[in-house]
Amino acid sequence: MDEPFTVGDLTLTADVSPADWVVAAVREFDDNNVGCLVPPVFAAYARVFHPAYRGEGENPREVPWAEVAGANGRLAHPAMQWPAITGSWRFVYDDDQPGLWDHPPVEGSLPVRQAAQLAELLAAHTATPERCWFAVWDGFGNLNLPVEDGKIPRVEMPARPMLLLSGPLSAAATSLDATSWCDQRASLWWPEDRAWCVATDVDLMTTYVGGTEECVTALTADGGLEAMEIGVDQRLGWDGDPLNPLPEPGPGG
């Protein structure tokens, strides 16, 4: 890159060494637990649930997972999974529950309001809020980044090579999508002092945060986020819910 490539307040970097500690620490992707996304080096972890939405237009109502679980006679808990609390596989992509929610939680990107709220909360738990790192999976379509430039090094996360950007924590809500109708935030972000780390996998409807016990307590206590403390060994897949049964496969499930 002859000139710095920027998206808002974020600057693309060709030096990916600031991410070496993450790559070295995360578990193998096949382990399929929180430690595959966030380094298993923190005192505590939280799971931030992406909301479902009811209504259309620019300001649909957010519907928390706990409300969906309650309406379907399921239990809300840190390891709950979307098909288990809705009761049907068709609610993952193809259908809705009229009167409860019209749009399922977004996969692969922390919604803009939650990203801004999370960044505001995390600012109190780092000494370097003006110096943070943001990595995004290079497999997303329409990224507003020179993805095709093979000369730009990648952060070699397991199964998820990423481009790395730097910027202030306040830029966490920045969309990296080149289009005006899509919204794509960083997949992985952390401050220079490594006080915490945030990860949103492309295939998941929730975001994971590792940090101090004080940090995680603050996240889970904040009314602006639906967040619960979770263990680093918790499974990530649909089968990770031990309390609510998965629906049967097939037309009815």
Reported as a single tens digit per residue, the pLDDT across 1-38 is 567 899 999 999 999 999 999 999 999 999 999 999 99
Same domain for 148 and 182: yes
pLDDT of 85: 98
Q: Taking all residues of the chain, what is their mean pLDDT, rounded to a whole number?
A: 95
Same domain for 156 and 100: no
Same domain for 134 and 12: yes
- For residue 16, tell me if it sits in a domain: yes
Q: What percent of the chain has pLDDT over 70?
A: 97
Same domain for 167 and 79: no
Q: How far apart are CA 30 and CA 146, in angstroms?
A: 29
Same domain for 131 and 98: no
Same domain for 172 and 73: no
Q: How far apart are CA 87 and CA 78, in angstroms?
A: 17
pTM of the shown model: 0.96
The answer to whether residue 225 scores a pLDDT higher than 90 is yes
Q: How far apart are CA 66 and CA 154, in angstroms?
A: 37
pLDDT of 182: 86
Kindly state the average pLDDT of the residues 245-253: 76
The residue type found at 122 is: L
Same domain for 23 and 128: yes
Residues 6+ apart with CB under 8 A from 113: 62, 224
pLDDT of 181: 83
Check residues 163 and 151 and name the one with the higher pLDDT. 163
The answer to whether residue 190 scores a pLDDT higher than 90 is yes
Q: What percent of the chain has pLDDT over 90?
A: 91
Shortest CA distance to 189 belongs to which of 97, 85, 119? Answer: 119
Give kind and range of the element (H or E) at residue 213: helix 213-221
112-127 pLDDT tens trace: 999 999 999 999 999 9
Shortest CA distance to 47 belongs to which of 19, 82, 90? Answer: 82
51-99 pLDDT tens trace: 999 998 888 999 999 999 999 999 999 999 999 999 999 999 889 999 9
pLDDT of 2: 61
Strand-pair category, 197-199 with 188-191: antiparallel
For 53, 84, 141, 223, the CA distances from 69, given in Å and listed in that order, are: 14, 9, 32, 18
> Contact 80/240 with Cβ under 8 angstroms?
no
Residues 6+ apart with CB under 8 A from 186: 134, 135, 136, 165, 172, 174, 176, 200
pLDDT of 240: 95
Q: What domain range includes position 90?
A: 67-105
48 DSSP β-pair partners: 207, 227
Same domain for 34 and 82: no
For 55, 157, 194, the CA distances from 20, given in Å and listed in that order, are: 43, 9, 12
- For residue 247, tell me if it sits in a domain: no
Q: How far apart are CA 37 and CA 20, in angstroms?
A: 14
Q: How far apart are CA 250 and CA 253, in angstroms?
A: 5
> Contact 110/79 with Cβ under 8 angstroms?
no
- For residue 61, tell me if it sits in a domain: no
Same domain for 34 and 72: no
How many structural domains are present in the chain?
2
**Strand, helix or coil at 51?**
coil
Same domain for 220 and 137: yes
pLDDT band at 252 (very low <50, low <70, confident <90, very high): low
- For residue 245, tell me if it sits in a domain: no
